[in-house]
Amino acid sequence: MNDRPAVAISGLTKQFKAGVTALSGIDLEVQPREFISLIGPSGCGKSTLLRIIGDLIEPSAGTVEVNGKPAHRARLDHDYGIVFQEAVLYDWRTVSKNIALPLELLRWSREKRSARVKELLDLVELEGFEDHHPWQLSGGMQQRVAIARALSFDPALLLMDEPFGALDEMTRERLNLELLRIWDASGSTIVFVTHSIPEAVFLSTRVVVMSARPGRVAGLVEVDLPQPRTARTREEPRFFELVTEVRERLAAGGAELEVTA
Amino acid sequence: MASIAIEQPGRARVGEATHAAKRAGLVVVGVAVFWGLWEAYRWIGETLGITWPFRVDATNMPHIHDMLAAFNKPLQPGGPTLLHYEWHWALFTAKEALLGFVLGALIGFGLAVLLAHSRILRRGLLPYIVISQTVPILAVAPMVVVGLGTKGVTPWISVAVIATFLTFFPVAMNTLRGLLSPDPRSLELMRSYAADRRSVLWKLRVPASLPFVFSALKLSATACVIGAIIGETPASIQDGLGGAIVNFNQYYSTGPERLWATNIVCAVLGLVFFTAIVVAERLVLHRAPEHVA
């Protein structure tokens, strides 16, 4: 990996057709190996920002570079994998075949695919479930399949849009730990959208706090909690200090909204 | 966690077997009830002299056992039994219906793929496709047979074309709906992989459409048999069930049970087509139980 930023956003603005400004004047750099969380009230455009990084939506103005190339080029080069709030697994495919979907599109040989799928099943701890269909799995297991699928072609960047938002608190905390382990093992950069403050603090190396209408970066919080994070991390005083800091930044963003509105 | 989420395959198989036995039992009971009702109405009708909506007698309502017995009687003195003839007529009509079904399914599917990719084509072509189905098949059938006949097409293939006409429509409409059914997230996922149109079609749209396609094929499976039978009648084709129906209609007063026997054969042929699709669906579709039509 070179030292080009994994994601470089400058002067980014997004206006929707109805004249709604979703994002305004976003500047952000994400370094390789970082775990960045985007947090903000609903309607702050955090999911929109993630989709623009992934070239699933076009920005109205500004530039987005991924691995030193325009976002569009990066998408065509398969530079990132994406995980949505819903697992978005294809019902007619088994767990193995869902994970192998991007590899089929990349025209990997059958042998290479099955070897890679085996590694990934091991990584997300789903051995023994390869021949199950998505509807036979719990929500947490489905989301692990989605993560394995996103990692299958070993992209440098992982985009995650509230991936654990629909799960219960216990499953979410367990998957948080698993995600950190996967992040460590895969060596990828992660941009993670969430509306949970503790989740953002627990996972991230840096939290990007956003304000709403129009979406703006209201502040950056460096998370200096030691690595690797464990279940105990959530009980440390520094964890609570950082949670408070993020919460205050969010409130400050909201206050700013009231002044401008 | 795992043990909760997973069905026990062994138990499922046992469940399936008893389920199948129950269904077979229901079919037998259904036939018996129908038989009973038929004979009861015949008996009551004859005793009370019911004449509305039709006169109840041996001509209008032959005994079901007479219909079944008719299969075993020779059609002409000293000739083969009716069953022998029915078998060959059914094979002939099945051949027409099968070709019509295959052609109709392919044309319907191809049309749906075309329409799924272009909003303009959907707007422009769809009304004409719908109008095509309002044309009375009985009026068109002789034209098709005669018209294609002058081009040197053998009559049974012309009849298959008529069956195609009844088959393609449900397939086209349902497949189109199925191809357009994937949710925005599934499409976004494909976009994130920079998948081209062809991959999106074959790896997402077509698999997503299969439950819709199969419900259409079930409709078409019976429609193509009807199409073949109707196609034979105005074209005076004597080798199939349609021709037999026309014939037995003319001799109805002397041997009503032969027409009824032929009706039974038509129904059985339709059921065979339908069942073939149900079996194919079982083999091909592995969906969540609530998503299987």
Q: What's the predicted TM-score (pTM) here?
A: 0.84
Contacts of A75 in chain B (CB under 8 A): 191-192, 194
Q: What amino acid occupies position A163?
A: P
Query: H/E element holding B260?
Result: helix B256-284
The Cα–Cα gap between A167 and A129 comes to 20
- pLDDT tens sequence for chain B (293 residues): 344 444 444 555 667 788 889 989 999 999 999 999 999 999 999 999 888 888 888 888 999 999 999 999 998 888 899 999 999 999 999 999 999 999 999 999 999 999 999 889 999 988 998 898 888 888 888 888 888 888 988 889 999 999 999 899 999 999 999 999 999 999 999 999 999 999 999 999 999 999 999 999 999 999 999 999 988 887 778 899 999 999 999 988 888 999 999 999 999 999 999 999 999 999 888 776 655 54
B191 touches chain A (CB under 8 A): yes
| Cβ-based neighbours of A94, under 8 Å, separated by 6 or more | A130, A131, A132, A133
Sequence-ordered alpha helix ranges (H) in chain A: 46-53, 71-76, 95-105, 110-123, 139-151, 169-186, 197-203, 237-260
Pick from A93, A85, A184: nearest CA to A133: A93
B150 touches chain A (CB under 8 A): no
Do residue B286 and residue A135 have CB atoms under 8 angstroms apart?
A: no
- Name the closest residue on chain A to residue B194, using Cα atoms: A76
Best mutation target among A76, A84, A85, A92 (most B Cβ atoms within 10 Å) is A92
Q: Are A219 and A252 in contact (CB under 8 A)?
A: yes
Contacts of B182 in chain A (CB under 8 A): none
pLDDT at B75: 87
Q: Over the stretch A174-192, which tens digit does the pLDDT of each residue have?
A: 889 989 988 988 889 999 9
The Cα–Cα gap between A25 and A120 comes to 38
Best mutation target among B1, B4, B189 (most A Cβ atoms within 10 Å) is B189
Q: Over the stretch A92-150, which tens digit does the pLDDT of each residue have?
A: 999 999 999 999 999 999 999 999 999 999 888 899 998 999 999 998 899 999 999 99
3-class SS letters over A142-165: HHHHHHHHHHCCCCCEEEEECCCC
Do residue A91 and residue B287 have CB atoms under 8 angstroms apart?
A: yes
| Cα separation values, B134 from B116, B173, B216, Å | 23, 15, 18
Residue whose structure tokens are 């041997």: B255
pLDDT at B7: 47
Of B2, B188, B286, the CB nearest to A56: B188
Q: What amino acid occupies position A241?
A: E
pLDDT at B289: 63
B288 touches chain A (CB under 8 A): yes
B194 touches chain A (CB under 8 A): yes
Q: What amino acid occupies position B33?
A: V
Provide Rg for chain B, Cα atoms.
Answer: 24
Do residue A132 and residue B6 have CB atoms under 8 angstroms apart?
A: yes
Do residue B285 and residue A92 have CB atoms under 8 angstroms apart?
A: yes
Min Cα–Cα distance to chain B from A86, Å: 8
pLDDT at B288: 65
Do residue B188 and residue A84 have CB atoms under 8 angstroms apart?
A: yes
**Tokens standing for B83?**
């069953």
Please check the confidence at residue A260 and state whether its pLDDT lies above 60. Answer: no
The torsion region of residue A141 among left (phi > 0), alpha (psi -120 to 50) and beta comes to: alpha
Can you tell me the mean pLDDT for A20-47? 89
B189 touches chain A (CB under 8 A): yes
Do residue A86 and residue B185 have CB atoms under 8 angstroms apart?
A: yes
Can you tell me the mean pLDDT for A18-44? 88
A141 touches chain B (CB under 8 A): yes
A133 touches chain B (CB under 8 A): yes
The Cα–Cα gap between A9 and A144 comes to 29
pLDDT at B6: 47
* ipTM for this prediction: 0.88
Strand locations in B20-167 (E): none
Do residue A78 and residue B204 have CB atoms under 8 angstroms apart?
A: no
Q: Are B215 and B293 in contact (CB under 8 A)?
A: yes
The Cα–Cα gap between B278 and B290 comes to 16
Query: H/E element holding B209?
Result: helix B206-232
**Backbone dihedral angles phi then psi of residue B6, each to the nearest 5 degrees:** -100, 135
Q: Is A70 helix (H, G, I), strand (E, B) or coil?
A: strand
B97 touches chain A (CB under 8 A): no
Q: Is A28 helix (H, G, I), strand (E, B) or coil?
A: strand
**Biggest distance spanned by C-alpha atoms of chain A:** 60
The Cα–Cα gap between A102 and A87 comes to 15
Min Cα–Cα distance to chain B from A183, Å: 20
Do residue B287 and residue A135 have CB atoms under 8 angstroms apart?
A: yes
- Name the closest residue on chain B to residue A84, using Cα atoms: B185
Query: H/E element holding B2?
Result: helix B2-5
What secondary structure does DSSP assign to A180-229, as a single string? HHHHHHHT-EEEEEES-HHHHHHH-SEEEEEETTTBEEEEEEE--PPSSP
The torsion region of residue B180 among left (phi > 0), alpha (psi -120 to 50) and beta comes to: alpha
A170 touches chain B (CB under 8 A): no
A54 touches chain B (CB under 8 A): yes
B197 touches chain A (CB under 8 A): no
Cis amide bond preceding A214, omega within 30: yes
Q: Is A11 helix (H, G, I), strand (E, B) or coil?
A: strand
Q: Are B214 and B293 in contact (CB under 8 A)?
A: yes
| Cβ-based neighbours of B45, under 8 Å, separated by 6 or more | B56, B61
Do residue A92 and residue B195 have CB atoms under 8 angstroms apart?
A: no
The Cα–Cα gap between A163 and A120 comes to 18
**Biggest distance spanned by C-alpha atoms of chain B:** 77
Interface of B with A in 166-185 (CB under 8 A): 183, 185
Do residue B193 and residue A136 have CB atoms under 8 angstroms apart?
A: no
